[in-house]
Structure 1
């Protein structure tokens, strides 16, 4: 305000004559300011509304600011109307000045849902999401809000990358649009935390009770796709089922609703048709439900065409198929299986044929059969075991951690003496490069997908990140207060995860550091951490015997599973499915579906097996290798708990670490006695996989291996495999389309 304006005001106040205000601008200023002051003094509901309108759309910025300040002062003095108008103003327009008035004056909305929405719009997402039932309150507020407010909330959610919540509120507004459910079903559901899952189920339940069939289809899909027990319970309670006849039959069958299943598929036509076109995972699930429930009548309907499959047969399936064929005296079909089944299974088939005193009908086959009987008999007398391992030399310190870099060209070795070494593959030469970490021992390692950064953790409770182009320390990240027991780097290479004995799981910006979020499963030490193959979930195990599943994006706990009686000492994930394998001090091996939170199986280990210290899942075979505190390495089939190898006893003390190369060719183990051993798994894979999976190049390779083999065990098994491969090569065309009916399923050769 100019000196002239001040004199004019003084003259006006002395005379009370408006004509003394010669400046039109000054007149306007006084009128607007007086109007704001008058509305503030009035303090009524209508006055608060007029002030809010002025703060929103008055063309003069100074007046907008005055109106906003007046609203803030009225609200701080206890006016409920001004308080609501102030919050509504922010929810509609999102003005930072309005938010500042609310925050600076410490104003709280009387409606907890509205206050939660304000926090959502003004606080960092992680801070807001840490509040109990934050998403639930936000959704309730959103659904009652005006369109302009909804638009503001959706834009904020997009900025925060909260796609799952956007999907849920979109579905809440569009209950009868099937396409609205697609994103969350196809991409998002496994990543939802517990609150978002419950919220999604609540929205579906609400729509189903109002008669929405798309919502019922979506609810059933959660059970069919993800084996979600909460979705199943909700569907059964609401009597919801899919509209599609095939999915309806499958839903009733897998959920054990037998009366409903019989009504829609009394002759099992739908289930049989669906099974024939199903994925291997779904086939296994259907068969498991059949065997568990005893409803196996659909497997042999008169005249039905049954599905044909070979590559997905488990050892238990092979045993059942062979038993069925033998009981039916279908020896010719057993003979056909010799050329396609895994050698470990075909030697048993030959033993069955021997016990049945069967002979091939033509002379040429009889000669080959006689030769195979002899070789198979030798194999059965000489149980398969791995060749002696190669001892890697050049290290003085005990190896405490192992990791193959993603390309499989190098083995990374962390030692108890703070040094990190590198061996080249497959020559196993110790490389000259050495990383000297500022801590010891090196307990856990992680490398990014590009192989450019290595993360290591040891005894100083910090994560150290090294560049692999120059082997120099790039960053040290602190925050943990006890030993770190697990590291993982996200596939997008933007996040590093860590967990340890301080009971916390933490996410850090990678590779620069900076904590993104922190979570704790309760009063227990964390003993292991792994990231799912898709990168959306984290799996941890703890000292109280529990397995936890977390959303990798936000650290929200999805599942807490009571796994073992006592500490879990080892954890491994399947690279090809959502299966986790755990082992603990209770001498049990447990298998879990970490995406659905369900227990798949558990097995008691023999008394000859020590306590597990490490686990690693083979990348292509159905096999888990376990090291124990007695220095033994055992190999198990995770589907049935069957031991695939005799115990390997080359270590004399506790096995500290194990790793398998990305191609599955090599297993490397380290022991407390100081040995670092490389095991060649090539012969193991040759004898445990279906021979139909082998390429023509396998024949000369097996010949080469046989020539070089020194141990009788290797020579016996390689000789057997070689003869079958020669026969396959000679008669490959004749094997093309044969189908063998074997009890529960047909086997396509």
Structure 2
């Protein structure tokens, strides 16, 4: 029975205050009373606050379609789960009265989260319209007969699993185990293991491996171990029992992994991530005499060298030895650029502004003079990816070299500069577009023919070095060390962000939107090409020698820094990608990743605990790509000869 005061209150024609009204709705939801419901319905006043408000709307709203709208649908579904309360019957009747394709989809989604709604769906045979979503719904709600009838071969479930999120995949795994007749391995991996495995987390991969072991599918399990990250694969080696691969190389890698401690592998991953030097010092080449310039070959691990003593040569970086030497020059070789295909172009330089100098192509032990200039060369650079080059001269001219070696002479006045009082101190190129930046007393950007000035500007300073970071943007540095980002605005180059540093080398990292700066003592800085914010820096240089040149290899894998004391330091930049590589599934790796690991293994300061893990990763990659590559000879894969070695030109 209701309390006397409540009975008096219910006879009032007007609803009570908000607090009392909420209390009355809460009382009815706890213990339904017909007289209380009659009064609440007569007042037509919903509760002012949740959760009572949602339930009261289900009772009072006569329009079922309005109640099934987005604003009140959740409250309607919650009410429908109350199986021992009149509210549940009201909600279920209104759901059925308002059924629409949209409401069915929403109800089925809600049923996956609240199984109390499943009986309503089963009774009225409600399911999602999309076949893939429908098989998931049948499986997760225990409607196995409907699932089997719709998806007898599991193809729809395979599609559903591939597109599901992590939480849904976990639910599907539990449901699949309960069915007992599904090919769980095929559903988990699908028909394209290379695509699926990178998307799977460690729990899924471990579950898959145990399923394969339970079925005795050892070759399939071994293939799976070779596809996952080694830190995960090491933990699966205990599943094999006495089985071993048949091929000799496979057994060697297999036994190596079985001997390794899985937990040590995980510690190594953490240690490598913390260590991550980004740029790893690989080796030092000690030359007998000053080296003026160096240039990486675009197609092999080779380094062309320009020497002071009228000599140039080529060093094989994987063997640490001189493989070509040319003493055909009349003057000091100031500049060199390797054009690929076993060929390089060298430019002579003298302190005498009137002495004649030459551009010489060297290849296969022979040489050919491409151009004679009445004065020293002042710059030399590769200008296209097919071997064309550009040079500057003290007489105020630009020399445009074609891949076949023909040279076109372009006077500076064609660019609006003044050759009788100016000359190009440096020339740099954007290889993809062929555009050139000529650095005289002011900077001019021109097309590949040096026939049209596209933009000019000095950035408020005398520019000593420049590098393209895009066809319309450059990073430049003054002789005093001010660094600026210049963006093209019409025909003007507009200064952007400014940073400071005594720059002796300036290069753009391909595909990274970053630049590498080298100061006069050999300290390396990596800067964002747009903001010039510092991304990474090496330890300060510990030498009194001065940097003479600094150049990247064409793909940005290696950095060479030359010093006036006669040595060149080589750095491996591929370790920049090491943090992502060490935990990447092997199925997502490419042959070039072998070079990253090879370079990291030669690092002098590599943590001891990481060496074994990198060795396993290296051998797995080498075994994986054994039929695809010639190990160790391409630029992407080359491991530089580590340590220090003397080379006499």
TM-score for the superposition, normalised by structure 1:
0.40
Bigger helix share: 1
Bigger strand share: 2
Highest Rg: 1 or 2? 2
Higher relative contact order (CA 8 A, sep 6+): 2
